[in-house]
Chains A and B, each alone.
Chain A
Amino acid sequence: MPVRGETVLHRHNCKKLKSRLMGFSTLDSLRRILSAFDASHRERALALTAVEMEELENIFTLLLLGSFVGFPSPPSFLAIELLPFMEKELAVLNKRAKDSGDMLAEMCGTLGID
């Protein structure tokens, strides 16, 4: 015979299972589908905007931090001043420079094809 704690747990599990099964036929499912639909649209739109933004970021980072990779860059005092705030941008710039020969798939994914 189950002890009281086990019975409560069993009931809780049954309730959870029931609510999961019921979930398929309730408005909650519809809400989730619509929210995913909305989010996937936004995600796709965001990805395309990001392409433009990345280019601007790349130019901005090169302008400010180009001196570190050999570009003659007059405002190096600015670079030094901004360096502590640009840690993430530097890391991203490095990663992108490393992957610049392997961008075909990423472009296909962002722009979509077929």
Chain B
Amino acid sequence: MTALITIIGFLLYLILYFVYGKKIERDVVMASDDNEAPSKRLYDGVDYIAARKEVLFGHHFASIAGAAPIIGPAIAICWGWLPGLLWVWFGNIFIGAVHDYLALMASVRYDGKSIQFVASDIMGKRTGVAFYWIVFFLLILVVAAFSAVIAGLYVGPDGGAIGATYVFKIIAALILGVLLYRVKMNFYVATILGIIMLFIALALGPVFPITLSKITWMWIFFFYIIIAAAIPVNVLLQPRDYLNSFLLYFGLILGFVAAVFAFRGFEVPIASTFSPILLGGKPTPFWPAIPLVIACGSLSGFHSLVASGTTSKQLEKETDALAIGYGAMFMEGFLSTIVIVSIAGFGYTALKNLGVTEAVLNPGNWGAAFTKASASVKMGGANLFVQSYSDMVGSTWLSFIPVKYVKVLAGMWVASFAMTTLDTTNRLARYCISEMALPLKESATGAYNFLTNRWIASIIPAAIGIYLGASGNFLILWGSFGAANQLIAAIALMTGAGFVAKKLKSKFASVAVYPAWLLWITVTCGIAWFIVVVQPGEIAAKPVPGWTVMIISLVLLILNFVFIYDFVKSKAYKVD
């Protein structure tokens, strides 16, 4: 079953890329190499510069791939393996990949401007301004949810080894930075040394585990993300990202091979109930809650920013965009497929191996049992993935790799990407604050200067995010992160639909317009359900983090309606 689903997933993506993707390229966007791309038309040798398709694909994929496509599907296994898998596959093919591709192509036709700029042009300036607010709140929730993920991983089973490995990897990255930029060592020699240091870090982690409390880790993250966001990128961020990419490809290849050769039936039931106990301990209906749980494996609003930020400026020709915008999203969906396969095949055993009793782990009532079992061994989605992944690899001919190292590899895979996101968010939040504070520049210069101070602007999102991560309920933070992320996705997809309908006047605009409406309605219902059903319980249990998340959710919901008002008013969905 593991091999079957992996291969079906692979074939499904391959076929629909050529059938559906090509149709969108040909009939909806009408991509043509006769239209010169911005990289050629506006070439400046700095920002606008053409890159080879394969190179740009690698760059784009590395920018969009992270921890979220692993954690979301791992949590969604609560509904059984099929509902989550279907949302990953069909959400990816008909919404997520379309969203990424349209954001990329809209930006290409707008001289490489961002999706935020395109939204302002199609739906009005207010939508562009709302973007900053939504992104800012999303960034706070990202810090909260991802710091909770990493801390959960470091204090969970085998967490000491994973935490230690991460610390050793940071040291390896710092040394690599010195070798590359101070010593100016040959690139290939430095790369080989970097990989050797990465393996040494993986080997040393289990030998010298670091055992700290969750709160201590949170304090470390707080200072780390502020410092990491302030120092030059070539000192830590760049060499660390470089080492991370080896982890990503190595983990992906190992997972694919293991999933194909595991030849194992699924332990997790195909479906549990429509509303298992999940977010905030409440019955969580598959619709409309699923996009709050699975964000990036299926669709993600951040991708529209990445696609319209640097990718569109480096696209060599319009026909390359499908492989990059549409194809990279398929690759991420495939990553989520491997996550679902590993947990569906090995999740039950993984929980039992961690000491969950048969009484708790009742397969006849998987939905409730999963949440309860996860809570009883303090295992979030990330921990479950680490255990299942290592069990999957250990069940194949790859079992010659010691299990403890596979666990550390899988844990590092998740932790590294979550951590990368953390310090990226701080840089982005700093920029958002400076843009959002602009109206104060004339009227309240003192407040403006205070808010835009480099350190203050760093501390605000880090402090709120880490506080929420340390004190809030992880599943609630994850759900609210998903809601904000999907809200951006809805706005970007509607912008893409508006671009296709209003600017390109495509007769096949419905391919974008219908999924855009479907997504907006789902996300709106999801946020409303979250506010009405889930949040009150959290407020009663933990008033400060509960109210903080509630206020953010309410602001997001209001902005959501402001935005749809602009969308309808501008008739962006209508082909003239």
Contact = CB atoms under 8 A, between A and B. Distances in A.
Interface of A: 32-33, 36-37, 39-45, 47-52, 54, 88, 91-92, 95, 101-114
13 contacts: A36-B55, A39-B54, A48-B238, A49-B233, A104-B116, A104-B305, A105-B107, A109-B305, A109-B306, A112-B62, A112-B306, A113-B142, A114-B64
Contacts of A91: 44
Contacts of B238: 45, 48-49
Contact of A36 (B54, B113, B131): B54
Contacts of A43: 51, 55-56, 58-59
Contacts of B310: 47, 106, 109-110
B431 A114 contact: no
Interface-centre pick from B47, B66, B187, B300 (highest chain A CB count, 10 A): B47
Contacts of B435: 101, 104
A112 B309 contact: no
Interface-centre pick from B46, B304, B421 (highest chain A CB count, 10 A): B46
B300 A114 contact: yes
A108 B59 contact: no
A91 B249 CA distance: 39
B308 interface: yes
B364 interface: no
Given A47-B310, A104-B431, A110-B309, A40 B55 contact: yes
Interface string B233-247: 110011001100100
Contacts of A39: 52, 54-55, 58
A30 to B, nearest CB: 13
Ranked 4 nearest A-B pairs via Cβ: A40-B58, A109-B309, A109-B310, A36-B54
B420 interface: yes
Interface-centre pick from B58, B107, B113 (highest chain A CB count, 10 A): B58
Nearest to A51: B233
A107 B54 contact: no
A114 B296 contact: yes
A4 B175 CA distance: 65
A41 B432 CA distance: 28
Interface string B292-335: 00001000101111111111000000000000000000000000
Contact of A106 (B59, B114, B233): B114
Given A36-B52, A43-B58, A52-B233, A114 B241 contact: no
B115 interface: yes
Interface string B276-304: 00000000000000000000100010111
B493 interface: no
B68 interface: yes
B54 A88 contact: no
Contact of A111 (B46, B303, B424): B424
Interface residues on B, range: 35 or more
Given A40-B55, A51-B233, A112 B46 contact: no
B57 interface: yes
A30 B290 CA distance: 39
Contact of A112 (B63, B117, B132, B187): B63
B232 interface: yes
A32 B55 CA distance: 11
A62 B528 CA distance: 49
Contacts of A103: 431
Contacts of B1: none
A92 B67 CA distance: 35
Contacts of A114: 63-69, 296, 300, 302-303, 306, 421
B59 A44 contact: yes
Nearest to B420: A112
B382 to A, nearest CB: 15
B52 A107 contact: no
A93 B427 CA distance: 22
B524 to A, nearest CB: 23
Given A44-B241, A95-B44, A114-B421, A104 B303 contact: no
B242 A45 contact: yes
Given A102-B117, A106-B310, 10 more contacts: A40-B62, A41-B245, A43-B55, A44-B58, A44-B242, A49-B233, A105-B306, A108-B63, A110-B63, A112-B66
A110 to B, nearest CB: 6
Interface string B47-85: 100011011111100111111110000000000000000
B114 A102 contact: yes
A114 to B, nearest CB: 4
B428 interface: yes
B499 to A, nearest CB: 15
A104 B135 contact: yes
Contact of A109 (B54, B63, B187, B431): B63
A103 B308 CA distance: 10
B425 interface: yes
Contacts of B62: 40, 44, 112
